[in-house]
Amino acid sequence: MKLSMLLSRYTGDPVETAELVRDLESAGLDMVWVPEAYGFDAMTLVGYLAATTERVQIGTGIVNVFSRTPTLLAMSAAAADSLSRGRFALGIGASGPQVVEGFHGVPFDRPMQRIAETIEICRKVWRREEPLTYDGKVYRLPLPADRGTGLGKPLRLINHPYRAGIPVYWASLMERSVRATAELADGWLPLFFLPDKAAEVFGPALAAGTARRSPGLPPLDIVAGGPVAVGEKLPVDDLLDQERPTAARYIGGMGSRGRNFYNDLACRYGFEAEAKIIQDLYLDGRTREAEAAVPRKWLEQTTLIGPPGQVTERIHAYREAGVTALNLDPVGPDPARTVEAVRRLVDNL
């Protein structure tokens, strides 16, 4: 099992972040994911990390498919993969209306179709088999004359990519998008993955998508995990309580009533009553009460916090659920030391 980590800080000094990644690389981390919201862009830091690391894989976790054209994503990915000598992974997703419409001024429409077509276009760009043409429901390349000047013509990427098969990871949660992920993507980036419920909640969609998967694609890489702390004398209750604000914000506040993917997911995991209470409290502005309403069981099942034996059991549960890369969110002042501790546990499984 590989170890990966999402760089959780959207703000801060990119140079300090790069220094942390070098420490994580030395500690045994296999992959790092660079997030993007509405701060510094992800691709700039990806390029810097490519120049300042040697072994660790570097992915975007995630960039949205609305603020860049598919061909620009393909161009940036090809450059990052060349700079890193084949260590880059393109993590993409939809983000949400708050960022897409509020910050970028782009309509948030047909997100799943956009992602699927983006994957197909990127792969055509990287293969360079012929000048690029594409006739999709969202994207048409070149732009037809009735929608442009009529001067556009098919073009081929000038550069030869370091790899024609740069891996693409899809951050998806709902049934249709998970099915499409299993069919089209190289990897899957689910948030709030409960290994104990994964087969029940995601199994049918993954199986349906896998049945339609091209034999030319490798098995789906599943990247999932959560906050982690390993130790015999940890204040487990306090550390779990630290995760309440994040859980309440996603379950309660990431969307409106009736349109919150994370609330829907909590319901699918069997927390229907709790999810409704959390959402009602959060949307009413009673955030502290919403945080207190997050079930202890949710916190235990979405984290790897406890003594080594207990964390080992959770790692085993993730592996049994099909996770191939354990995604870590170290809790505490020394992330590299936490990665080293988990690396030992994984290697001894």
DSSP H helices in the chain: 14-27, 42-52, 70-83, 97-100, 111-127, 175-184, 198-211, 236-241, 244-248, 261-268, 272-283, 287-292, 296-301, 308-320, 335-347
Q: Tell me, what's the pLDDT at 255?
A: 81
CA 162, 166, 168 angle in degrees (round to 5)? 160
Mean pLDDT along residues 103-114:
96
Give the closest residue to 30 by CA, choosing from 7, 52, 61, 1: 1
Whose structure tokens read 């899809």? 170
Q: Does domain 2-225+306-347 have CATH number 3.40.50.620?
A: no
From CA 267, how far away is CA 201, in angstroms rounded?
10
Distance, in Å, from the CA atom of 21 to the CA atom of 50, rounded to the nearest integer, reads 11
Segment 315-332 shows an average pLDDT of 97
Give percent above pLDDT 70 in the chain.
99
pLDDT in tens, 262-314: 999 999 999 999 999 999 999 999 999 999 999 999 999 999 999 999 999 99
> Strand 134-135 to strand 140-141: parallel, antiparallel, or no bridges (unpaired)?
antiparallel
> How confident is the model at residue 210, as a pLDDT?
98
Other Cβ atoms less than 10 A from the Cβ of 333: the count is 7
Of the candidates 98, 99, 100, 136, the one whose C-alpha atom is nearest the C-alpha of residue 118 is 136
Of 266, 243, 263, 245, the C-alpha closest to 194 is 266
pLDDT at 219: 97
Structure confidence by residue, pLDDT tens digits, 3-49: 999 997 666 789 999 999 999 999 999 999 999 999 999 999 999 99
Q: What percent of the chain has pLDDT over 90?
A: 93
Task: Tell me the pLDDT band of 111, cut-offs 50, 70 and 90.
Answer: very high
Among 72, 67, 90, 43, smallest CA distance to 141 is for 72
Domain boundaries, the chain: 2-225+306-347, 244-301
Model pLDDT, residue 340? 97
pLDDT value of position 256: 84
Average model confidence (pLDDT) for the chain? Answer: 96
pLDDT surpassing 80 at residue 318:
yes
Query: SS3 of 69, please?
Result: coil
Query: Angle at CA 181, nearest 5°, toward 313 and 228?
Result: 25
Q: What is the mean pLDDT of residues 149-177?
A: 96
Could you tell me if 91 and 42 are in contact, meaning their C-beta atoms sit under 8 angstroms apart? Answer: no
For residue 129, the 8-state DSSP code is S
User: What are the tokens at 161?
Assistant: 């990519």
Query: Hey, which of 98-102, 256-260, 337-341 has the most confident mean pLDDT?
Result: 337-341
User: What was the pLDDT predicted at 10?
Assistant: 66
Cβ atoms of 63 and 57 within 8 Å: the answer is no
Distance CA 147, CA 204 (A): 40
Q: What is the pLDDT of residue 212?
A: 98
Alpha helices in 89-165 (DSSP H): 97-100, 111-127
Among 141, 147, 151, 143, which residue's Cα sits nearest to residue 117? 141
Name the band, by pLDDT with cuts 50, 70 and 90, for residue 258.
confident
Q: How confident is the model over 202-253, as pLDDT tens digits?
A: 999 999 999 999 999 999 999 999 999 999 999 999 999 999 999 999 999 9
Q: What is the pLDDT of residues 126-147, one digit of tens each?
A: 999 999 999 999 999 999 998 9
For strands 88-93 and 57-60, give the pairing.
parallel
Residue 262's pLDDT is 94
Q: What angle do CA 209, 215, 216 make, to 5 degrees?
A: 115
Q: Which two tokens stand for residue 196?
A: 């104990």
Quote the CA–CA distance of 152 and 142 in Å, as a whole number: 6
